[in-house]
Chains A and B, each alone.
Chain A
Protein backbone atom coordinates (compact mmCIF):
# COMPACT_ATOMS: atom_id res chain seq x y z
CA UNK A 1 0.00 0.00 0.00
CA UNK A 2 1.23 3.49 -0.86
CA UNK A 3 1.77 5.50 2.31
CA UNK A 4 1.00 8.90 0.78
CA UNK A 5 -0.99 8.86 -2.41
CA UNK A 6 -2.04 11.79 -4.51
CA UNK A 7 -4.21 12.01 -7.59
CA UNK A 8 -4.01 12.73 -10.38
CA UNK A 9 -0.38 12.14 -11.31
CA UNK A 10 -0.64 14.41 -14.33
CA UNK A 11 -2.98 17.32 -14.89
CA UNK A 12 -3.11 19.34 -18.09
CA UNK A 13 -5.56 22.20 -18.24
CA UNK A 14 -6.27 25.57 -19.75
CA UNK A 15 -5.73 28.94 -18.12
CA UNK A 16 -8.69 30.11 -16.10
CA UNK A 17 -9.92 26.63 -15.19
CA UNK A 18 -10.43 25.34 -11.65
CA UNK A 19 -8.81 22.07 -10.63
CA UNK A 20 -8.29 19.94 -7.53
CA UNK A 21 -5.56 17.59 -6.40
CA UNK A 22 -6.33 14.98 -3.78
CA UNK A 23 -4.02 13.53 -1.16
CA UNK A 24 -4.47 10.70 1.28
CA UNK A 25 -2.12 9.17 3.83
CA UNK A 26 -2.56 5.83 5.57
CA UNK A 27 0.25 6.30 8.10
CA UNK A 28 -1.93 7.62 10.89
CA UNK A 29 -0.01 10.89 10.89
CA UNK A 30 -1.41 14.07 12.39
CA UNK A 31 0.20 16.54 10.00
CA UNK A 32 -0.04 16.95 6.25
CA UNK A 33 1.60 19.37 3.83
CA UNK A 34 1.47 20.71 0.31
CA UNK A 35 4.70 21.66 -1.46
CA UNK A 36 5.31 23.21 -4.86
CA UNK A 37 8.39 22.36 -6.92
CA UNK A 38 8.94 24.71 -9.82
CA UNK A 39 10.91 24.25 -13.03
CA UNK A 40 14.12 25.22 -11.22
CA UNK A 41 13.49 22.38 -8.78
CA UNK A 42 13.07 24.59 -5.71
CA UNK A 43 10.80 22.84 -3.26
CA UNK A 44 8.66 25.29 -1.27
CA UNK A 45 6.07 24.62 1.34
CA UNK A 46 2.61 26.04 0.69
CA UNK A 47 0.40 24.79 3.51
CA UNK A 48 0.48 22.56 6.54
CA UNK A 49 -2.43 21.09 8.49
CA UNK A 50 -2.29 19.45 11.90
CA UNK A 51 -5.39 17.45 12.84
CA UNK A 52 -7.43 19.31 10.22
CA UNK A 53 -6.27 22.70 11.49
CA UNK A 54 -4.25 25.02 9.28
CA UNK A 55 -0.91 25.74 10.96
CA UNK A 56 1.34 26.93 8.15
CA UNK A 57 0.13 29.17 5.37
CA UNK A 58 2.92 30.56 3.26
CA UNK A 59 2.50 33.49 0.90
CA UNK A 60 0.32 31.71 -1.58
CA UNK A 61 -2.33 33.37 -3.77
CA UNK A 62 -5.89 33.14 -2.51
CA UNK A 63 -6.67 31.07 -5.60
CA UNK A 64 -5.11 28.14 -3.73
CA UNK A 65 -7.36 26.69 -1.07
CA UNK A 66 -6.48 23.60 0.92
CA UNK A 67 -9.19 21.50 2.50
CA UNK A 68 -8.77 18.81 5.12
CA UNK A 69 -11.96 16.80 5.66
CA UNK A 70 -10.14 14.57 8.14
CA UNK A 71 -6.55 14.14 9.25
CA UNK A 72 -5.88 11.48 6.61
CA UNK A 73 -6.81 13.74 3.71
CA UNK A 74 -5.58 17.09 2.47
CA UNK A 75 -6.88 18.30 -0.85
CA UNK A 76 -5.70 21.30 -2.84
CA UNK A 77 -8.13 23.31 -4.92
CA UNK A 78 -6.84 25.88 -7.36
CA UNK A 79 -9.12 28.51 -8.92
CA UNK A 80 -8.50 30.48 -12.10
CA UNK A 81 -5.33 28.66 -13.04
CA UNK A 82 -2.46 30.71 -14.43
CA UNK A 83 0.57 29.78 -16.49
CA UNK A 84 2.82 30.31 -13.47
CA UNK A 85 0.97 27.62 -11.57
CA UNK A 86 2.62 25.00 -13.75
CA UNK A 87 4.77 22.92 -11.43
CA UNK A 88 4.92 19.64 -9.59
CA UNK A 89 2.86 19.62 -6.42
CA UNK A 90 3.82 17.24 -3.63
CA UNK A 91 1.76 16.16 -0.70
CA UNK A 92 3.53 14.96 2.45
CA UNK A 93 2.71 13.84 5.96
CA UNK A 94 4.50 13.51 9.28
CA UNK A 95 3.64 12.49 12.79
CA UNK A 96 3.95 16.00 14.13
CA UNK A 97 5.90 18.82 12.55
CA UNK A 98 9.44 20.09 12.07
CA UNK A 99 11.86 17.36 13.10
CA UNK A 100 9.66 14.39 12.34
CA UNK A 101 10.30 12.51 9.12
CA UNK A 102 8.09 13.64 6.27
CA UNK A 103 6.74 11.09 3.82
CA UNK A 104 6.08 12.43 0.36
CA UNK A 105 3.69 11.42 -2.34
CA UNK A 106 4.82 10.84 -5.92
CA UNK A 107 3.74 14.29 -7.02
CA UNK A 108 1.20 15.80 -9.39
CA UNK A 109 2.62 17.44 -12.48
CA UNK A 110 0.35 20.35 -13.35
CA UNK A 111 0.66 21.93 -16.77
CA UNK A 112 -1.36 25.05 -17.48
CA UNK A 113 -1.65 25.89 -21.17
Chain B
Protein backbone atom coordinates (compact mmCIF):
# COMPACT_ATOMS: atom_id res chain seq x y z
CA UNK B 1 0.00 0.00 0.00
CA UNK B 2 1.32 3.46 -0.91
CA UNK B 3 3.03 5.18 1.98
CA UNK B 4 2.07 8.77 2.71
CA UNK B 5 4.16 11.65 3.97
CA UNK B 6 2.70 14.80 5.47
CA UNK B 7 3.98 17.58 7.74
CA UNK B 8 4.04 16.69 11.42
CA UNK B 9 2.46 19.97 12.49
CA UNK B 10 1.11 23.29 11.23
CA UNK B 11 -0.14 26.46 12.83
CA UNK B 12 -2.59 28.92 11.35
CA UNK B 13 -4.62 31.90 12.45
CA UNK B 14 -8.38 31.92 12.58
CA UNK B 15 -10.07 32.95 9.37
CA UNK B 16 -7.25 31.85 7.09
CA UNK B 17 -7.29 29.12 4.49
CA UNK B 18 -5.15 26.14 5.45
CA UNK B 19 -3.60 23.76 2.95
CA UNK B 20 -2.12 20.47 4.07
CA UNK B 21 -0.15 18.58 1.46
CA UNK B 22 0.37 14.85 1.44
CA UNK B 23 2.88 12.94 -0.70
CA UNK B 24 2.05 9.45 -1.97
CA UNK B 25 4.62 8.74 -4.66
CA UNK B 26 3.78 5.05 -4.98
CA UNK B 27 0.04 5.44 -5.42
CA UNK B 28 -1.46 2.74 -7.66
CA UNK B 29 -4.01 3.11 -10.41
CA UNK B 30 -6.89 1.83 -8.28
CA UNK B 31 -6.03 3.78 -5.16
CA UNK B 32 -8.11 6.61 -3.73
CA UNK B 33 -6.96 9.40 -1.43
CA UNK B 34 -8.89 9.77 1.78
CA UNK B 35 -8.56 12.27 4.61
CA UNK B 36 -9.67 11.82 8.20
CA UNK B 37 -9.79 14.32 11.07
CA UNK B 38 -9.27 13.42 14.71
CA UNK B 39 -10.11 15.68 17.63
CA UNK B 40 -8.60 15.01 21.06
CA UNK B 41 -10.32 12.16 22.88
CA UNK B 42 -12.37 11.21 19.81
CA UNK B 43 -12.12 8.69 17.02
CA UNK B 44 -11.09 9.74 13.52
CA UNK B 45 -13.81 11.17 11.32
CA UNK B 46 -13.98 11.05 7.52
CA UNK B 47 -13.52 14.43 5.83
CA UNK B 48 -13.16 13.89 2.11
CA UNK B 49 -12.11 11.41 -0.54
CA UNK B 50 -11.00 11.77 -4.13
CA UNK B 51 -9.41 10.03 -7.08
CA UNK B 52 -8.28 12.86 -9.32
CA UNK B 53 -8.61 16.61 -9.98
CA UNK B 54 -10.75 18.35 -7.38
CA UNK B 55 -13.39 17.30 -4.90
CA UNK B 56 -15.31 19.71 -2.69
CA UNK B 57 -17.79 19.18 0.10
CA UNK B 58 -19.23 21.33 2.86
CA UNK B 59 -16.13 20.89 4.99
CA UNK B 60 -13.11 20.92 2.70
CA UNK B 61 -11.67 20.68 -0.78
CA UNK B 62 -9.22 18.11 -2.05
CA UNK B 63 -6.87 18.91 -4.91
CA UNK B 64 -5.15 16.08 -6.75
CA UNK B 65 -2.73 16.83 -9.61
CA UNK B 66 -2.68 14.77 -12.76
CA UNK B 67 0.19 12.52 -11.64
CA UNK B 68 -1.65 11.82 -8.35
CA UNK B 69 1.63 11.60 -6.44
CA UNK B 70 0.45 14.19 -3.98
CA UNK B 71 -2.76 15.75 -2.77
CA UNK B 72 -3.70 18.88 -0.87
CA UNK B 73 -6.45 19.19 1.69
CA UNK B 74 -7.78 22.72 1.81
CA UNK B 75 -9.75 24.02 4.78
CA UNK B 76 -11.39 27.40 4.08
CA UNK B 77 -11.53 30.07 6.78
CA UNK B 78 -10.48 27.90 9.69
CA UNK B 79 -11.75 28.40 13.22
CA UNK B 80 -10.49 27.25 16.60
CA UNK B 81 -12.66 24.17 16.31
CA UNK B 82 -10.58 22.97 13.35
CA UNK B 83 -7.67 22.27 15.70
CA UNK B 84 -7.14 18.54 15.22
CA UNK B 85 -4.91 15.91 13.67
CA UNK B 86 -5.47 15.35 9.96
CA UNK B 87 -4.58 11.99 8.41
CA UNK B 88 -3.98 11.36 4.73
CA UNK B 89 -4.53 7.77 3.59
CA UNK B 90 -4.30 5.91 0.34
CA UNK B 91 -7.13 3.41 0.08
CA UNK B 92 -7.80 0.69 -2.44
CA UNK B 93 -10.99 0.52 -4.43
CA UNK B 94 -11.42 -3.15 -3.67
CA UNK B 95 -10.13 -5.93 -1.49
CA UNK B 96 -9.45 -6.38 2.17
CA UNK B 97 -6.26 -4.40 2.46
CA UNK B 98 -5.98 -2.61 5.75
CA UNK B 99 -5.92 1.14 6.24
CA UNK B 100 -2.60 2.49 7.36
CA UNK B 101 -2.74 5.70 9.33
CA UNK B 102 0.51 7.65 9.33
CA UNK B 103 1.58 10.20 11.88
CA UNK B 104 -0.90 12.76 10.61
CA UNK B 105 -0.58 16.54 10.68
CA UNK B 106 -1.35 18.27 13.94
CA UNK B 107 -3.08 21.51 12.97
CA UNK B 108 -3.28 24.21 15.63
CA UNK B 109 -5.48 27.22 15.03
CA UNK B 110 -4.37 30.36 16.81
CA UNK B 111 -6.93 32.98 17.84
Interface residues of A (CB under 8 A from B): 4, 35, 41-45, 48, 50, 55-56, 58, 90, 92, 97-99, 101-107
Inter-subunit contact A97/B96 (CB<8 Å): yes
**28 A–B pairs (Cβ distance < 8 Å), ordered by A:** A4-B43, A41-B103, A41-B104, A43-B44, A43-B101, A44-B101, A45-B98, A48-B96, A50-B96, A55-B96, A90-B43, A90-B44, A97-B95, A97-B96, A97-B97, A99-B91, A99-B92, A99-B94, A101-B34, A102-B36, A102-B46, A102-B99, A104-B42, A104-B43, A104-B45, A105-B43, A106-B41, A106-B43
Question: Smallest distance from the beta carbon of A28 to chain B beta carbons, Å?
Answer: 17
Residues of B within 8 A of A104 (CB): 42-45
Inter-subunit contact B43/A56 (CB<8 Å): no
Chain B, residue nearest A98 (CB): B92
B interface SS class: loop
Tally of contact residues, B, Cβ under 8 A: 26
Residues of A within 8 A of B46 (CB): 101-103
Residues of B within 8 A of A4 (CB): 43
Out of B43, B97, B104, name the residue touching A98 (CB < 8 Å): B97
Residues of B within 8 A of A48 (CB): 96, 98
Q: Total number of A-B contacts with CB less than 8 angstroms?
A: 62
What 7 additional pairs, Cβ within 8 angstroms, besides A56-B98, A98-B97? Answer: A99-B32, A99-B34, A99-B91, A101-B46, A102-B44, A102-B46, A102-B99
Inter-subunit contact A41/B85 (CB<8 Å): yes
Question: Smallest distance from the beta carbon of A78 to chain B beta carbons, Å?
Answer: 19
Mark contacts of B34-51 with chain A using CB atoms, 8 A cut-off: 1 yes-contact digit, 0 otherwise: 101010011111100100
Inter-subunit contact A92/B43 (CB<8 Å): yes
Q: Which residues between 87 and 111 of chain B lie within 8 Å of chain A, taking CB atoms? A: 87, 91-101, 103-104
Question: Smallest distance from the beta carbon of B105 to chain A beta carbons, Å?
Answer: 12
Chain A, residue nearest B95 (CB): A98
